[in-house]
Amino acid sequence: MKVKMLSRNPDNYVRETKLDIQRVPRNYDPTLHPFEVPREYVRALNATKLERVFAKPFLASLDGHRDGVNCLAKHPKSLTTVGDDKTVKQWKMDGPGCGEEEEPLQTILGKTVSTGIDHHWKDPIFATCGQQVDIWDEQRTSPVCSMNWGFDSVCSVKFNPIETFILGSCASDRNIVLYDMRQATPLKKVILDMRTNTICWNPMEAFHFTAANEDYNLYTFDMRALDTPVQVHMDHVSAVLDVDYSPTGKEFVSASFDKSIRIFPVERSRSREVYHTKRMQHVICVKWTSDSKYIMCGSDEMNIRLWKANASEKLGVLTSREKAANDYNQKLKEKFQYHPHVKRIARHRHLPKSIYSQIQEQRIMKESRRRKEMNRRKHSKPGSVPVVSERKKHVVAVVK
Amino acid sequence: MEPKSDTRRFFKSLHAFGERKQAATVDMARNVAGLLALSQQEELMDLPNHSPLSTSEDEGDSDGERKSQKLLEAVSSLGGKSRWKLAERSEATLGVSEFNVTSDGSGEKLVLSDLLESSTALSSLAAVRKQLLRVKSKTLAIPLDKKEADQILREAAFSKTAQVLSKWDPVVLKNRQAEQLFFPMEKELPAVAPVEHAFTGWKTRTPLEQEVFNLLHKNKQPVTDPLLTPVEKASLKAMSLEEVKIHRAELQKTRALQSYYEARARREKKIKSKKYHKFMKKGKAKKAFKEFEQLCKDDPSAALQELGKMEEARVLERMSLKHQGSGKWAKSKAIMARYDLETRQAMQEQLAKKRELTQKLQVVSESEEEEEKCTEEGIISASDGMNDLQMNAAGVNPWMLRSCNSSAGRGELKTDPEQLPQQVAGGFSVGEEDERPVAEELVLKERSFQERVEPNSAKPMGGQEAEVSSDCQEEVSESRVLLQKLHKENDQSEQQNVSSVGTVLQIQREELAQEESLVPQRLERTHVLEEQGELGKEGRCQKKGHPRPMLKGEWKKRNPHSVLDVSRREKKDQMIDLQKLLTTRSPVKSLAVPTVVELKDEVETDHKQIIKEAFAGDDVIREFLKEKRETVEANKPKDLDLTLPGWGEWVGMGLKPSAKKRRRFLIKAPESSPRKDKNLPNVILNEKHNILAAAHQVHAIPHPFTHHQQFERTIQNPIGYTWNTQRAFQKLTVPKVGTKLGHIIKPLKAENVGYRSSSRSDLSVLQSSRKRLSKKQQKQLKASSAD
């Protein structure tokens, strides 16, 4: 007689080593796991709520300065400064020894006052700006080349991180000028409505840069087509003073006179995050750290503040399960981002009263301006009041 | 002494002028450096040497000799060779100039031509003259304004830079579209030595190895990537001789065939005979017709496609004004038509053609096939009128049908055979003015298809027929079944029959009156009468309580006489009237209404009526009712059957769980509360709509999506571990941008994305470009940068 027995392959249920997790067979039949959309929706909603619960971006405040912090730099290999005394000074990277007087390595007496300085990304070159843009070799005491276009003073100059021979500068006569260092000539000039305070190049896209403007907006330009900005970023309620790109090139942070800093995705016109504290005054400079995890800002009230770039991100080592859950939550939030409740919770931010009221006020102003223009268009000859897109509105002219 | 200093000053100023000019040009040269060739630059540098030439005239100096000397020097300096020669040519005269060129006293200005005049006399000065002439012709254009020159430079530089930047476009695009990006991007390439390096240290030891190596080297076997020897590659690429021959022969043949065909076409094109072309056209039409028939037999789906084409042709014809009497030919004929019979006929033919071309195609539905079955079973008597009407409607435009009917009146049977051949003739005879044989062929095909599909169908084929809803057709078939039954039953008395038919008549009249359908009233009545007559002859009768299990809906309420009613309605080309569909109107009530209705005379078709007919196909109300019925059905709670076959019983093919078990495990749906729209015939109320849920739902399609289905699909695909395997879950949830804590992300480099980075650093380029400028220019540059 043949006896039939149930037999199982032990490979299917025995783990190879003790350290492996137990095998749990699972049936993925969709009829056994119904309501996938509602269940995922609930998970997404919870993830969004938890994100807001854990959003604690402020890490530290570094005090010690006795006046406003006007300038920040990250990971410098050499330190060069300019001052109102028409000098350019090079400094030692390590501080003075015990009992030693701190002295600059070299002091160059220039002919004009320099207002800004930037170092080349690879070569020992730096550029200063003032009445003209000067390119200096670190080894020499006179500028290698100097470029000039127009008469107004240039307030900031920045090297392109990818195509390193390109420079961008912004002058106080409301224009942004691009220079080519190799050909020793300016390239093009774009005139905006109001003055641009500084620009920043995208470190992953060679031809994109963002300009922080006095008219509360930031403009992202493609330097090959300056007549229309790629994107107008608006959310600030006062002049934008500084801007810096995340090293991933996907986002940038801007510092504003309205005592807040905002983080914008590059392709979006509205900010995804706003940071502020009660004591932080006008933010003058801001930097995104090179590992893209932190943001530093220097402000009027003598402090440097350190923030997390992702407000709710957990810092430190994550277990794989934590990481998986984190990724899943991110994806869920992304998937359900258009659902009204998720959207509302994700967007909610507490703002200081001054900023809040100014936002309301500006909304009213904008609406009334829009209405007025609409009325004007309605009551004038068709075509005489053309519709100008928001992007084109702020560019006055492009000078070749 | 005074004049001396004066001249010196003058020359100094000249020199300064030249230098300033030089400065300008140098400035320019510096800017151009990257763009202009070196030779050009040198030319620019030479330019200032010539400049004093044109400015040396205006000098009111008394010391003529010195002046002339200087002038001579200046002039002679133009030609390098003769300069020194001239300088040597001084004689020991007492300050008298041999050329006598002083403009002193004469009060005139010294002009270059004056100087040249004397040189014509001396043959030794020919060379100088020549040079002077050459210089004259070579006068350079005024250099560009600095502003403009700068602008040109800037534009050139910008276009160059833009070109350099455009190489980043694909990289940027790739990064933006990437599913995931991990930073820092630089990867340390694992150090794997290439195969060649591994081979270098190798030495053959054994004789076998040597043999192998010898073989490999003899065949030039490549060691690395391309594993084929050059000979092998070539042989792979080449074709065999036979293949080449075959290929060539094929080519020759096709070329020859093409030339034959072209020659023939040319010959045929030259033929001027109209008759010939007419015959050709006919032949073509016939051929197409036959082909289509064949296609219908062989491949119905292809035939359907053909039909689709025909439909398209019909639509085109309807849109165009062809065959409509607006053409040149038609207009000319229209004048003559009054007097000439032939032209009149030609005109009519044309109109007939238009009719045919615009006639709508019939779509065969399943119910018709059912009917076919019924008829094939041997029921020939399914009312003559039906058949007639069907035949009538089969080939004729419904619009024309109306008018024909109304004019023909009772002689309906007669009109049919007349009409049909006429159409057929119209269809087959190719008009002289026919410009579109294609359309005609299509029409022919269409007709044949119709005939093929229902050779003996007993169903009207009105224009609206295609859109009639399915349950209506069911009713029709049911009516046929009943008629069959009537045939079989012979046991009832005539008297009853007559009375029942009488009531039918009453109902009909009443309905007709209500519907105000003016056109075929009388026609219909005659039909019914005919039917009655037939019924009477055959002695059929009708029971009052005849069982009709198949009828449903509102028709259930009606008494059995509605059968005839239905058939009559059927004859009316499925004209749908709003009132007959409304449930509120009960048949009982209609019975109660007095039956006195005046017979009306023949009435011409009203405009209103025509419009009604035109839109009869869009059966909105019936569709709405159907929809409502369906929603009500769908929203009813359903019984839940929890029977599991195989428990306690045998199970298998053809075996069902026992009735007892089924009863035991059937959970009956609870009685739901009555629907809110139960008493509202024109309303469907959605009872499922949940206001609380609406707050959680997306109201508008969000930006990147263009269609709501896209969005729904993204939402409906679950990404969680509950629904996906571990691997799939990991893949689905991978973050778009990954970074590592504390790892510096450097800006993009050309090497990282596979581009060749420029070998020279910016500094070296800058310095080399500066080296190209001379020392003097650098000095000027410094001066210019200083101020």
Name the residue among B425, B595, B630 with its Cα closest to residue B499. Answer: B595
Say yes or no for a CB contact (<8 Å) between A164 and B765: no
Chain B residue numbers with beta carbons less than 8 Å from the beta carbon of A188 are 154, 158
**CA of A289 to nearest chain B CA: how many angstroms apart?**
8
Say yes or no for a CB contact (<8 Å) between B168 and A206: yes
Distance of alpha carbon B18 from alpha carbon B16, whole angstroms: 5
**CA of A101 to nearest chain B CA: how many angstroms apart?**
33
Distance of alpha carbon A229 from alpha carbon A210, whole angstroms: 9
Say yes or no for a CB contact (<8 Å) between B739 and A293: yes
Say yes or no for a CB contact (<8 Å) between B175 and A162: no
Say yes or no for a CB contact (<8 Å) between B715 and A291: no
Chain B nearest-CA residue for A148: B785
Residue B536's CB is within 10 A of a number of other CB atoms, namely 14
Structure tokens given for B111: 């002009």
Report phi then psi at B315, rounded to 5: -60, -40
Distance of alpha carbon B239 from alpha carbon B231, whole angstroms: 14
pLDDT (0 to 100) of residue B102: 52
Given a cut of 90, is residue A180 above it in pLDDT? yes
Interface test with A, best of B173, B186, B733 (most A CBs within 10 A): B733
Nearest CB partner across the interface for A185, out of B153, B172, B739: B153
**CA of B736 to nearest chain A CA: how many angstroms apart?**
9
Given a cut of 50, is residue A283 above it in pLDDT? yes
Chain B residue numbers with beta carbons less than 8 Å from the beta carbon of A324 are 729-730, 733
Mean pLDDT by 10 residues, chain B (787 residues): 44 42 40 39 42 41 69 69 47 56 57 67 74 69 89 93 92 91 77 66 82 80 65 77 91 96 91 89 92 87 88 82 76 81 85 78 47 41 42 45 43 42 40 43 49 43 41 47 50 45 47 44 45 45 40 41 45 46 40 42 67 75 90 88 85 86 89 86 85 89 92 93 92 92 88 73 75 51 49
Reduced to 3 states, what is the DSSP secondary structure of residue B153? helix
Chain B nearest-CA residue for A142: B782
Instruction: State which amino acid sits at residue A74.
Output: K
pLDDT (0 to 100) of residue B542: 43
Distance of alpha carbon B279 from alpha carbon A39, whole angstroms: 75
Say yes or no for a CB contact (<8 Å) between B763 and A137: yes
Chain B nearest-CA residue for A329: B733
Name the residue among A225, A199, A228, A227 with its Cα closest to residue A212. Answer: A199
User: Per residue in A244-258, pLDDT tens?
Assistant: 999 999 999 999 999
Say yes or no for a CB contact (<8 Å) between A182 and B766: yes
**Secondary structure letter of residue B411 according to DSSP:** T
pLDDT (0 to 100) of residue B56: 39
**CA of A127 to nearest chain B CA: how many angstroms apart?**
12
Chain A residue numbers with beta carbons less than 8 Å from the beta carbon of B728 are none
Say yes or no for a CB contact (<8 Å) between B714 and A335: yes
Rounded to the nearest angstrom, the gap between the alpha carbon of residue B112 and the centroid of all alpha carbons in its chain is: 76
Nearest CB partner across the interface for A248, out of B699, B737, B762: B737
Average pLDDT of the residues in A136-155: 89
Say yes or no for a CB contact (<8 Å) between A143 and B785: yes
HSE-up (13 A, CA, CB side) for residue B74: 21
Place of tokens 């009306």: B600
Chain B residue numbers with beta carbons less than 8 Å from the beta carbon of A204 are 172, 175, 747-748
Buried b vs exposed e over A272-301: b needs ≥16 C-beta within 10 Å? ebbbbbeebebbbbbbbbbbbbbbbbbbbb
Percent of chain A with pLDDT over 70: 100
Nearest CB partner across the interface for A203, out of B699, B720, B747: B747
Contact A391, A222 (CB under 8 A): no
Reduced to 3 states, what is the DSSP secondary structure of residue B747? coil
What ipTM did this prediction achieve?
A: 0.90
Reduced to 3 states, what is the DSSP secondary structure of residue B618? coil
**CA of B200 to nearest chain A CA: how many angstroms apart?**
38
Nearest CB partner across the interface for A331, out of B34, B733, B750: B733
Say yes or no for a CB contact (<8 Å) between A43 and B720: yes
Contact A62, A306 (CB under 8 A): yes
Q: Which residues, 6 or more positions from A238, have their beta carbon under 8 angstroms from its beta carbon?
A: A216, A256, A257, A258, A358
Chain B residue numbers with beta carbons less than 8 Å from the beta carbon of A331 are 719, 732-733
Say yes or no for a CB contact (<8 Å) between B695 and A339: no
**CA of A276 to nearest chain B CA: how many angstroms apart?**
24
Chain A residue numbers with beta carbons less than 8 Å from the beta carbon of B165 are 163, 206-207, 223-224
> In this complex, how many residue pairs, one in chain A and one in chain B, have their CB atoms less than 8 Å apart?
188
Nearest CB partner across the interface for A400, out of B154, B725, B729: B154
Chain B residue numbers with beta carbons less than 8 Å from the beta carbon of A28 are 723-725
**CA of A314 to nearest chain B CA: how many angstroms apart?**
11
Say yes or no for a CB contact (<8 Å) between B175 and A249: yes
Reduced to 3 states, what is the DSSP secondary structure of residue B216? helix
Chain B nearest-CA residue for A122: B761
Average pLDDT of the residues in A368-393: 94
Chain B residue numbers with beta carbons less than 8 Å from the beta carbon of A293 are 739, 741-742
**CA of B485 to nearest chain A CA: how many angstroms apart?**
50
